[in-house]
Amino acid sequence: MNERQSNLLHNRRVEFPFALFYATFMTYAACENASNGAFMIMPPYKTKMVEPIRILTKKERIVKIRRAGYNLFFLKSEDVTIDLLTDSGTGAMSEHQWAALMEGDESYAGSTSFFRLKKAVADILGFRLVIPTHQGRGAEAAFNKAVLKKGDIVTGNSPFDTTRAHIEHVGATIVDATCKEAFSFKNTSAFKGNVDIKKLERTLKQCGDTVAYVLLTMTCNSMGGQPISLANIKDVARLCTAYKRPLYYDIARFAENAFFIQEREKKYRTWSVHAIVREMMKHADGALMSAKKDAIVNMGGFIALRSAELYGRISPYSILNEGFLHYGGMSGRDMEALAVGLHEGTEEKYLRHRVGQTAYLAESLHRMNVPVIRPAGGHAVYVNAGLMLPHIPWNNFPAQALAIAVYIEGGIRGVEIGSIMEGRDPNTRESRRAHTELLRLAIPRRVYSQEHLDHVIETFRAVAHHKKRISGVRFRHEAPILRHFSSTFRLA
Ligand code: F0G
């Protein structure tokens, strides 16, 4: 057996055959890293069941997208070839998860499945108390209703849209303290999900008890899926202790974040992902989880806590909307699959392949001069459509135009994260201009192969070829809230 074969079998990194390209981006990552996209990594799983993909012709796709009002949310999934709309709830469960479904205990109270979930949360994350919820936003709703009041402030790195909406819904305000590197497209720092510690301290000093809590989103979805370092987590925790403010995490993608820490933070290179996860979690008073991401289930979530007092305060809100404390909107079988998924989602071999896929896509696009956020985040590649299509003004939504073009060209569905999603200013009713016009290509877990990603890369090559001919879009019908979901468009 030669070295390459041995590497493949042991799930080690295998060199991508472009030495030059490899040398160019070594500046931000050590050469051993999976997350620099220089290696193709063998998936540590094989296929047992397949789901056919329907492949339409380009002509057919032109008709489909026109009928969908040029909004990709209105496409039928059967008309999509590679669906990169989201990595949320779109992962493939393992044989162990499917087997666990059979053991679901559907009792309303005292379900064995709940206690199995509780044990998995304690084993992986170290939190003793768990409130299950139907998905992440169920956890956000119950938690924020219980801990926030009008006029409060929440600060930390940039929260996800639904988190922001739940915080603002109870009349609280967010002070975004994401580090400035995150806002620079050119910056290739390893931890662009970090908090600006000086800004955080200023807020804590100036706002005192008005700061209800500090929230760290890991990885930071709103900032390109970028990770936060353990050094930064510890600095934030130190400030929270000093200013006596509680610290909570949004852990939708905590395992990917832990893997980045292992790869990029020298001090933790020899630590296992499990040990890093425990080290991350030990600083938090609690965590909110959308299990549809790193726990690789199609539906589910939870709130994990240490304090019985807080558990008691949140419980009524969860019972009101989610269900009794031993199921919270999930069936017993869902909790079984989630318990298994928490273990599988933190396996290093799986994570190496997963993060490697995202990096491979990002670096391949970058090599073709498609502008993407680098280094790639854990779950998605973010294309800077404003830079790629400079002839389209921001209010003709270049990222939506690019999304339409890549759907027509290759049947790929991404999502606009730009000025359509920004919406309108609630006071002036003016359209808000996004900081960057991004098209997000989120990669579902354990679903697509190298060949599928190569199809995405080839599609972008073709689109880049005729990019000057791509036109922007204007609203046909503009939805009053969360307009990206349900507005329709016409070509500008
Ligand atoms: N927190 C983060 C960081 C998220 O990315 C999401 C969802 C949520 C919370 C809410 O969880 O969907 O289970 O209610 N993100 C999805 C996405 C929708 O496409 O990025 P949920």
> Ligand 1 centroid vs 297 CA: distance in angstroms?
13
Q: Nearest-CA neighbor of 374 among 19, 27, 15? A: 27
Ligand 1, atom 8, residue with closest C-alpha = 136
Question: b or e along 170-209 (b: 16 or more beta carbons within 10 Å of the residue's beta carbon)?
Answer: bebebbbbbbebbeebeeebbbbbbbbeebbbebbeebee
Q: What is the CATH number of domain 3-87+348-491?
A: 3.90.1150.10
Check 141, 146, 212, 252 and give the catalytic one: 252
Rg (Cα) of the chain, in Å, rounded? 22
Ligand 1, atom 4, residue with closest C-alpha = 160
Q: Nearest-CA neighbor of 61 among 47, 45, 43, 81? A: 81
pLDDT of residue 26: 37
**236-281 pLDDT per residue, tens:** 999 999 999 999 999 999 999 999 999 999 999 999 999 999 999 9
Q: Which atom, in ligand 1's list, is nearest to the CA of 415?
A: 19
Check 28, 74, 122, 161 and give the catalytic one: 161
**64-97 pLDDT per residue, tens:** 999 999 999 999 999 999 999 999 999 999 999 9
Is pTM beyond 0.85 here?
yes
Where do the domains of the chain lie?
3-87+348-491, 95-344
> Ligand 1 centroid vs 1 CA: distance in angstroms?
44
pLDDT of residue 35: 73
Q: Which atom, in ligand 1's list, is nearest to the CA of 137?
A: 14
Is 70 known to be catalytic? no
Q: Residue by residue, what is the 3-state secondary structure of the chain?
A: CCHHHHHHHCCCCEECCCHHHHHHCCCCCCCCCHHHCCEECCCCCCCCCCCCCCCCCHHHHHHHHHHCCCCHHHCCHHHCCEECCCCCCCCCCCHHHHHHHCCCCCCCCCCHHHHHHHHHHHHHHCCCEEEEECCHHHHHHHHHHHHCCCCCEEEECCCCHHHHHHHHHCCCEEEECECHHHHCCCCCCCCCCCECHHHHHHHHHHHHHHEEEEEEECCEHHHCCECCCHHHHHHHHHHHHHCCCCEEEECCCHHHHHHHHHHHCHHHCCCCHHHHHHHHHCCCCEEEEECCCCCCCCCCEEEEECCHHHHHHHHHHHHHHCCCCCCCCCCHHHHHHHHHHHHHCCCHHHHHHHHHHHHHHHHHHHHCCCCECCCCCCCEEEEEHHHHCCCCCHHHCHHHHHHHHHHHHHCEECEEECHHHHCECCCCCCECCCCCCEEEEECCCCCCCHHHHHHHHHHHHHHHHCHHHCCCEEEEECCCCCHHHHCEEEEC
pLDDT under 50: residue ranges of the chain? 1, 4-9, 12-31
Q: Nearest-CA neighbor of 283 among 217, 332, 341, 236? A: 236
State the Cα–Cα distance between residues 217 and 377, nearest whole angstrom: 13
Beta bridge partners, 242, equal none
How many CB atoms within 10 Å of residue 462?
A: 13
Ligand 1, atom 13, residue with closest C-alpha = 136
pLDDT of residue 448: 97
State the Cα–Cα distance between residues 260 and 194, nearest whole angstrom: 13
Is 160 known to be catalytic? yes
> Ligand 1 centroid vs 161 CA: distance in angstroms?
8
> Ligand 1 centroid vs 167 CA: distance in angstroms?
15
Ligand 1, atom 21, residue with closest C-alpha = 136
> Ligand 1 centroid vs 343 CA: distance in angstroms?
20
Burial of 150 (0-12, 13-18, 19+ CB in 10 A): exposed
Q: Is 371 helix (H, G, I), strand (E, B) or coil?
A: coil
Beta bridge partners, 220, equal 226
> Ligand 1 centroid vs 334 CA: distance in angstroms?
18
Is 161 known to be catalytic? yes
Is 324 known to be catalytic? no
> Ligand 1 centroid vs 111 CA: distance in angstroms?
27
Check 114, 127, 143, 160 and give the catalytic one: 160
Ligand 1, atom 10, residue with closest C-alpha = 136
Q: What is the CATH number of domain 95-344?
A: 3.40.640.10
Check 23, 30, 108, 119 and give the catalytic one: 108
State the Cα–Cα distance between residues 7 and 349, nearest whole angstrom: 12
Ligand 1, atom 19, residue with closest C-alpha = 86
pLDDT of residue 39: 66
State the Cα–Cα distance between residues 329 and 63, nearest whole angstrom: 38
Check 166, 293, 353, 467 and give the catalytic one: 293
Ligand 1, atom 2, residue with closest C-alpha = 160
Check 250, 285, 294, 334 and give the catalytic one: 250
State the Cα–Cα distance between residues 408 and 403, nearest whole angstrom: 9
208 dihedral zone (left: phi>0; alpha: psi -120 to 50; beta): left
Q: Which of 83, 86, 88, 484 to mutate to test the pocket of ligand 1 (most atoms within 8 A of CB)?
A: 88
Is 250 known to be catalytic? yes
pLDDT of residue 38: 65
